Structure formats: structure tokens, C-alpha cells
């Protein structure tokens, strides 16, 4: 029996369209029908683009009929998170304050997806301010995990994780400053790639340049049901765009590196739940069987990097004034921001300079370590996916959630790439040195050689 078009991977769709086995309109129509069928249960896509998507599909089919070479993502239905600019659409970032913030031009990730031939079918949900590892806001509502509505779909790219897991689009765009790609992938049972700082260009003209924390740590990247699709998405997203001064023209394939993996089952001795430890050991065994040398080793600091990351991240709220959180009046954001504000006092100039000095030292330590051990196998989170909205249940729950997320919070301080690889019952994370997404993808193919099947919500 032939698989429905909406269930195909991005690579399968691109090949089928390039070989003219089916057309872009057929694929997009199937994707929109799938969105009709499952999105009412999930609320993953919060801005639909049906007419635009069908028009783009017709234009692509006409171009291919004229002999125009297809792009790498020709006809692939994709979703884009609501926190980046897409011309003619609101860049809401989950905020009522930005419901009317209409972008005049595409951000670099959107422009690059379009250049590769991808067709954007909708915009995915995020928590207010993209601040949580859970996805609910007062403008668009809550997103539910298609595998289990009692669990978080992750955040802040929770809509992206839920949509791609349920087969709404073959590829999803997400952003990540503290796990916002990797955690939704983990929670929804798909794969997510956080690229190296400077790999994927980014800029939102609606809001202008970010402060230093966001500039150093925030990236865009893909979520998908296959590792092959992550590679396709990364290649497309990485195309040049000089609006981003951090972007670098680095090759996607690096020099040969030793097949060595440092296993870090409990970064800096943090608490790690038994199912997570079991998943790490299973992944280590698979990599060993594939010819990798795997050894449990001490690594450079995690907790120190996490604390500096949090200070630089939250400095944006201190600078803008936490009054913006009060004006939005989103209960979840207010709860989280209050606890982060209490934990992280307003930075002084001296403190900011100290954190940047700390970053330089940690970058040096991690790069030196990764030169010897090119991959680190570690948890995505210290716990399996959380009960939905656990972080706002109590002060103690918030603290427990934050502590468990250290393996995702720390690496962005050093600008490192990381990948969350789906697994049963939980996935794992791999880290690599700058620009070595190729090593991450190669190891991920060992751990997940087959695509994840899309899930139909049972609620």
C-alpha cells in the first residue's frame, strides 16, 4: 500500500517531486488535509497559510514543467515558528502585545527555506516570550503533545515539535537559546538540531538586533522525523544572508575526525533518572557496535556555563525592563519571569564583563576537550518529558525543572552545536565542536537509521 503523501519524509518528497512522480500541489493539499485532521486536537499551528501555500505549489509545478531545476527542498511542506519574521504575517512570539506586528520582509531562515523550494503551510506556537520548555500563551492558547496530552510538547518550539511528530509538514523550523529545539524534539519523540552559532543566519527586522546574550546564544535550526531530513534542513537554512553579522561561510562537511565519543551520563554530577541513564547506555552500546570508541570521561564545566548562560539570557529582560512581562499579563510568563528575576539579580557592567570573561575560558576548555573527543553523549534532560506545565505548579517544581535542563542550557554559552536524537522510551543528546554538525548527523544516523513514524493523536 502506498504511503500517504503527508507521511513522507522531506527527502522522499523532494525526490518524488524532482522525479515528477507527484506534484507540489498534491503534496501541499495532502499536508493541509493532515493539518485539518489533527491540528484541532494539538493547536500546534496557530497561523495557517493555506492560500499562500497552494499558490506557491502551483508556481513550483509550473516552474518544473518549464524545466527549472528543483531546489533541495522542492515542494516540501514546512512550518515556521511565530517568533521569526515572515512577510505579511505577525511575528507574535506568543504575545498579545505583538499580535499586530506584521513583518514587511522574510527573516533569513524563511528566505532560505523558500529559496530551497520549501513551501510554508503555517506558523507554529511558542510560549509567551519563547521563555519556557512548555507551550502555552494567552494569545494562541496551549499546544498539546500528540503522543500524550498529559506531557509537555516541549518549548519554546513546542508547536514545531508537535507538528512534525504528527505529520503536519515534513520539516519544522525552531529556535534554540536554552534547548528550545532539542527539548521539543525530546518531548515529542522526533529529532532536533541546534546548529553552531553563525551557521544559520538570523535577523528580525520587526524588532532589530538582539542584545549580547541573544546574539551569542540564539540560533535557528530544523526539527524532523529523520536524520536525513535534518541534514537537508540544515543545508537549506545555512545559505548566506549578510543581514546576520555572525553568519560564517563554513563548509557543511569537515575534516576527518577520530570516531571517539565521551559518555557523560550525569553532567557535573546532576541527578539523572534511571530511564535517561538507560537510554544513554543503549546509545553508547550502539555507537560502540558501529565502531566508535566510547569512554565515560570527566568533561569541562556544565553548571558554571549554565549560570553564565542564564545571566546573559535574562539580561535582556533586565535591560528591556520586566515591565513588558507585566504589560503582557500572561500568567505563565509572569510566574517564570518572577522566579528567574529572583534567582538572577540585575547585572552590573562589571558582572556582564565577568560573564563574558568566563565564557572565553569555557569556550577554550570545551574546544580543547572536543578536539580530543569530538563527540559528547549526554542527556537532553535529567528527567523524562515533564508533566505539562509542571514549571508553573510551584516554586519547587520550577526549581526541579530548571535543574534538570542543565545539559541543554549550558552548551549555547559556548556556541556549540547539539542534536536531540529520538529514542524509546526517551532520546539522547550529542554535542560536537563548532561547525561539526556533520559529526552529529553521522552519529545520529547510527542511533536512528530509520525515520520516526508520524503519530495520530488519540484524543
- What CA–CA distances, in Å, run from 451 to 58, 165, 419? 28, 11, 15
Q: Which is the catalytic residue, given 81, 157, 226, 238? A: 81
Convert the pLDDT of each residue in 338-348 to its tens digit.
Answer: 999 999 988 89
The owner of cell 546509545 is: 283
Contacts of 338 (CB under 8 A, 6+ apart): none
Where helices occur in 129-203 by DSSP H, the ranges are 158-165, 182-188
Judge whether residue 321 has pLDDT over 80: no
Contacts of 19 (CB under 8 A, 6+ apart): none
100 torsion bin: left (phi>0), alpha (psi -120 to 50), beta (else): alpha
Where helices occur in 167-243 by DSSP H, the ranges are 182-188, 212-217, 227-237
Residue 224: predicted pLDDT: 99
Contacts of 188 (CB under 8 A, 6+ apart): 145, 146, 147, 153, 154, 161, 162, 164, 165
Q: Which CATH superfamily is domain 5-447 in?
A: Amidase signature (AS) domain (3.90.1300.10)
Catalogue the long-range contacts made by 348-354 (C-beta closer than 8 Å, 24 or more residues apart): 351/311, 352/212, 352/312, 352/315
Average pLDDT over residues 407-436: 97
Question: What residues are paired with 119 via a beta bridge?
Answer: 77
Contacts of 366 (CB under 8 A, 6+ apart): 300, 414, 416, 433
What cell numbers appear for 397 in the block?
A: 517544581
- In this prediction, residue 318 has a pLDDT band, given cuts at 50, 70 and 90, of confident
Q: Where are the domains of the chain?
A: 5-447
Residue 442: predicted pLDDT: 98
Convert the pLDDT of each residue in 124-181 to its tens digit.
Answer: 999 999 999 999 999 999 999 999 999 999 999 999 999 999 999 999 999 999 999 9
The owner of cell 485539518 is: 36
Looking at residue 174, the DSSP 8-state letter turns out to be E
Convert the pLDDT of each residue in 226-253 to its tens digit.
Answer: 999 999 999 999 999 999 999 999 999 9
What cell numbers appear for 321 in the block?
A: 525592563
- The C-alpha angle 147, 154, 188, rounded to 5 degrees, equals 30
What cell numbers appear for 2 in the block?
A: 502506498
- In this prediction, residue 63 has a pLDDT band, given cuts at 50, 70 and 90, of very high
Residue 2: predicted pLDDT: 87
Convert the pLDDT of each residue in 64-88 to its tens digit.
Answer: 999 999 999 999 999 999 999 999 9
CA distance 220 to 193: 9
- In 3D space, the residue among 133, 206, 121 whose CA is nearest the CA of residue 404 turns out to be 133
Convert the pLDDT of each residue in 40-58 to its tens digit.
Answer: 999 999 999 999 999 999 9
Q: Which is the catalytic residue, given 156, 163, 238, 381? A: 156
CA distance 241 to 15: 26
Average pLDDT over residues 203-214: 95
Looking at residue 132, the DSSP 8-state letter turns out to be S
- In this prediction, residue 424 has a pLDDT band, given cuts at 50, 70 and 90, of confident
Residue 1: predicted pLDDT: 62
Give 105-123 as a DSSP string: S--HHHHHHHHTT-EEEEE
191 in Cβ contact with 227 (< 8 Å): yes
DSSP strand pairing (293-296 vs 375-378): unpaired
Percent of the chain with pLDDT over 70: 100
Looking at residue 387, the DSSP 8-state letter turns out to be B
Average pLDDT over residues 421-431: 96
pTM, 2 dp = 0.98
State yes or no: is 157 an active-site residue.
no
Average pLDDT over residues 275-300: 98
Q: Which is the catalytic residue, given 107, 130, 157, 180? A: 180
State yes or no: is 156 an active-site residue.
yes
State the chain's mean pLDDT as an integer: 97
State yes or no: is 41 an active-site residue.
no
- In this prediction, residue 378 has a pLDDT band, given cuts at 50, 70 and 90, of very high
Amino acid at each position: 500500500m502506498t504511503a500517504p503523501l503527508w507521511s513522507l519524509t522531506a527527502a522522499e518528497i523532494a525526490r518524488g517531486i524532482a522525479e515528477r512522480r507527484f506534484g507540489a500541489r498534491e503534496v501541499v493539499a495532502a499536508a493541509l488535509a493532515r493539518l485539518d485532521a489533527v491540528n484541532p486536537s494539538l493547536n500546534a499551528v496557530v497561523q495557517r497559510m493555506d492560500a499562500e501555500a497552494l499558490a506557491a505549489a502551483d508556481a513550483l509545478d509550473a516552474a518544473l514543467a518549464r524545466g527549472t531545476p528543483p531546489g533541495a527542498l522542492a515542494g516540501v511542506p514546512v512550518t515556521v515558528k511565530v517568533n521569526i519574521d515572515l512577510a505579511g504575517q505577525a511575528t507574535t512570539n506568543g504575545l498579545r502585545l505583538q499580535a499586530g506586528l506584521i513583518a514587511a520582509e522574510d527573516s533569513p531562515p524563511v528566505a532560505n527555506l523558500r529559496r530551497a523550494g520549501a513551501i510554508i503551510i503555517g506558523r507554529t506556537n511558542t510560549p509567551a516570550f519563547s521563555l519556557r520548555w512548555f507551550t502555552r500563551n494567552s494569545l494562541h492558547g496551549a499546544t498539546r503533545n500528540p503522543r500524550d496530552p498529559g506531557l509537555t510538547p516541549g518549548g519554546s518550539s513546542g508547536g514545531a515539535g508537535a507538528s512534525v511528530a504528527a505529520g503536519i509538514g515534513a520539516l519544522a523550523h525552531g529556535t534554540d537559546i536554552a534547548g528550545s529545539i532539542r527539548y521539543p524534539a525530546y518531548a515529542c519523540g522526533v529529532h532536533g538540531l541546534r546548529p553552531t552559532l553563525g551557521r544559520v543566519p538570523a535577523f528580525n527586522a520587526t524588532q532589530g538586533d538582539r542584545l549580547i546574550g541573544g546574539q551569542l546564544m540564539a540560533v535557528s535550526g530544523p526539527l524532523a522525523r529523520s536524520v536525513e531530513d535534518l541534514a537537508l534542513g540544515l543545508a537549506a537554512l545555512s545559505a548566506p544572508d549578510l543581514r546576520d553579522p555572525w553568519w560564517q561561510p563554513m563548509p557543511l562537511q569537515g575534516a576527518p575526525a577520530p570516531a571517539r565519543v565521551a559518555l557523560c551520563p550525569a553532567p557535573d554530577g546532576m541527578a539523572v533518572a534511571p530511564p535517561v541513564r538507560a537510554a544513554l547506555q543503549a546509545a553508547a552500546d550502539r555507537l560502540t557496535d558501529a565502531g566508535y570508541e566510547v569512554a565515560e570521561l570527566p568533561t569541562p564545566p556544565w553548571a558554571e556555563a549554565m549560570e553564565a548562560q542564564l545571566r546573559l539570557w535574562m539580561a535582556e529582560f533586565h535591560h528591556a525592563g520586566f515591565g513588558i512581562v507585566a504589560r503582557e499579563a500572561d500568567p505563565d510568563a509572569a510566574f517564570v519571569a518572577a522566579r528567574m528575576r529572583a534567582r538572577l539579580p540585575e547585572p552590573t557592567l562589571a558582572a556582564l564583563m565577568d560573564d563574558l570573561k568566563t565564557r572565553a575560558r569555557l569556550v577554550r576548555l570545551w574546544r580543547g576537550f572536543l578536539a580530543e573527543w569530538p563527540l559528547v553523549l549526554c542527556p537532553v534532560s535529567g528527567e523524562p518529558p515533564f508533566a505539562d506545565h509542571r514549571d508553573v505548579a510551584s516554586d519547587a517544581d520550577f526549581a526541579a525543572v530548571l535543574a534538570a535542563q542543565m545539559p541543554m542550557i549550558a552548551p549555547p554559552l559556548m556556541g556549540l552545536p547539539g542534536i536531540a536524537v529520538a529514542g524509546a522510551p526517551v532520546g539522547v543528546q550529542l554535542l560536537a565542536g563548532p561547525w561539526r554538525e556533520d559529526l552529529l548527523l553521522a552519529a545520529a544516523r547510527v542511533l536512528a537509521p530509520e525515520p520516526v513514524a508520524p503519530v495520530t493523536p488519540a484524543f
